[in-house]
Amino acid sequence: MRRTSKVRENLYIQFIEQENMDSVVPRLSQLLNRDPYLHPYTHEIERRYKIFEENLRKIDETEGGIDQFSRGYETFGLTKQDDGLTYREWAPGAKAVHLIGDFNNWDRSSHACSVNEFGVWELKIPNKPDGSSPIEHKSRVKVAITKHDGNQVDRISPWITYAAPQSNTDLYEGVHWDPPQPYHWQNPRPSRPKSLRIYESHVGIASNKLEVASYDHFSQNVIPRVKDLGYNCVELMAIMEHAYYASFGYQVTNFFAVSSHASKNTMDGLNQFDGTNGCYFHDNPRGFHDLWDSRLFDYTQWEVLRFLLSNLRWYLEEYKFDGFRFDGVTSMIYHDHGLGHGFGGDYPSFFGLGVDTESITYLQLANHMMHTIHPDVVSIAEDVSGMPALCRPINEGGIGFDYRLGMAIPDKWIELLKKCKDEDWDFQELYHTMTNRRYMENTIAYAESHDQALVGDKTIAFWLMDKEMYDFMSVTSYLTPIIDRGLALHKMISDSDDDDDDDDGDDGDDGDDGDDGDDGDDDDGDDGDDDDDDDDSDSDDDDGDDDDDGDDDDDDDDDDSDSDSDDDDDDGDGDGDGDDDDDDDDSDSDDDDGDDDDDGDDDDDDDDDDSDSDSDDDDDDGD
């Protein structure tokens, strides 16, 4: 059909408008076409993208690119050269810095560092006369920080890759890791599955014995079972060293040491590292998360960005993680951390003054770095607010995550099992909950995680069968109506989350350890964050690496990386799609991040990083 001049004029106007929209954000028009409600917020989306681009430009100009910038572990901490060791640390608030340890009989004045204009302290230690390293493998080391009031405090280097407790005390010390025969990976990095089937686990509690289980035990006894059940991705909790073992990985202390939130500990964590309340964290109320009793990173600091991005990169390269689950992203991206805030899909709240642009910029940089260096990396965001474009590419104006967690789904299952008779289930409401998600943003649907099974609740198997599991699960016992019903409903619930394989990229995750009915206990580990065991398959040390076969979320951290690397969702009530979910207990990471991811690992998290780890998700934050 021949176009009229009016039609041609309208098409030309549309073309010009689209060209103008894409002049700042390369593919913004695609995002706006998918979600027309975003049109009024075009300028804010462009502003966020410009800040991301400006940070990327500065990294290119001053650091040689994101690849080099995210390798901070090669220049900070203790690094090895042919002629000796170099110690480098960022401590802008310190008056003096000395390296102490076994190597100098803990002499607090013999090895002084010099400082540059950026607050980076440096010390070169030559080899011994026989050419051997001046600090032996497994030597204990710490940093003596002299504050401006003249007092000295001992700290562990944030870049230390192994930390261990002192004898007869709970205080940790850094351990210099320099094995004479470094471990070399035996297998290539696995390819990314088309559709994820995630099994969340905690290595340390993945045993039915009263002990902290090892990576060897996990690889020999848990991984085969996970594979046989059809999972293709393992999400590990508590990978990064953390202060309280029973926290399942929260409150990370040593982000590069395999064992976010960032712990408030001063003796073995980042808090007050240089003797001030600032350094890695905001030196004001913004630097404290009152509900979680943790510290929050200052993403405006150049060295904080280097530290968190390098934390994610460290787990990608050193331990071959495949991705991160960033815990508590909601807490990162809003100034009020989502506390007391019911998110109802109100678009102005997504683009108003309550949004923390600096955190969003860090998450964009983290996703850009990970997907640039390793395109198959998986990044997962735990967000209950429903932030638009969270899981859309950065060049569309998104934040760049691959998946978001469908957090309303497990809460709906628990609600049904707690409050409703089987015959009273509202399947229309259940269908709405399972399909309510942002268009074209990949969602991970799951039946339960550590948030349901460990954090003040119990597994679906226990809700269904409770104490009957102890006496009537054996093949030699008779089948009771409770067990019969429980197994049937458990299969139905698990399968309902595992069948999402449609075009919008939904993936199923029903793999909370210990809910398959054999003993009702989460003795295979539980969800989310990775725990650190010295027996790891990757090095014969207790620096614990995990060679997971799947993906890493941390995610965390996790990493949020949270860091990282650790995820913890205190209420898990959100679905991330704009329903009225009261998020006042939102889970945040730190970090990749992690971490506090705020993490990655920590995913991190963020340290995964902040930040948990998926198949190796290190939630993260940072995370």
> Could you tell me the sign of the dihedral formed by the alpha carbons of 320, 449, 358, 578, in that order?
positive
507 counts as catalytic: no
Of 173, 200, 327, 536, catalytic:
327
Alpha carbon distance 431, 433 (integer Å): 5
Query: What is the pairing mode between strands 120-126 and 114-115?
Result: antiparallel
Torsion of Cα atoms, 412 then 413 then 415 then 417, to 10°: 160
Residue 526 tokens read as 């539980």
Q: How many CB atoms lie within 10 A of CB 266?
A: 14
Phi–psi pair at 174, nearest 5 degrees: -75, 145
Tokens matching residue 201 = 């686990």
**CA angle, 163 then 202 then 474, to 5°:** 145
SS3 state at 334? strand
User: Cα(569)–Cα(574) distance, rounded to whole angstroms?
Assistant: 10
> Residue 274 CB: number of other CB atoms within 10 A?
25
* Backbone φ, ψ for residue 338 (5° rounding): 75, 10
Residue pair 602/592 in contact by the 8 Å Cβ criterion: yes
Give the pairing of strands 443-446 and 507-512: parallel
For residue 458, which of 408, 514, 416, 409 has the smallest C-alpha distance? 514
Q: CA 269 to CA 267: how far, in whole Å? A: 6
Catalytic residue among 298, 358, 382, 516: 382
What's 456's DSSP letter? S
Phi–psi pair at 28, nearest 5 degrees: -60, -35
Q: What Cα–Cα distance (Å) separates residue 490 from each residue in 98, 470, 527? A: 58, 17, 18
**453-468: b or e for each residue (b if 16 or more CB lie within 10 Å)?**
bbbebbbbbbbbbeeb
Beta bridge pairs of residue 121: 89, 115
Number of residues assigned to the chain = 623
Give yes or no: 235 in active site.
no
Q: Within 13 A of 615's CA, how many CA atoms are on the CB side?
A: 25
DSSP of 469-503? HHHH-STTSPPPHHHHHHHHHHHHHHHHHH---ST
Active site (catalytic) residues: 327, 382
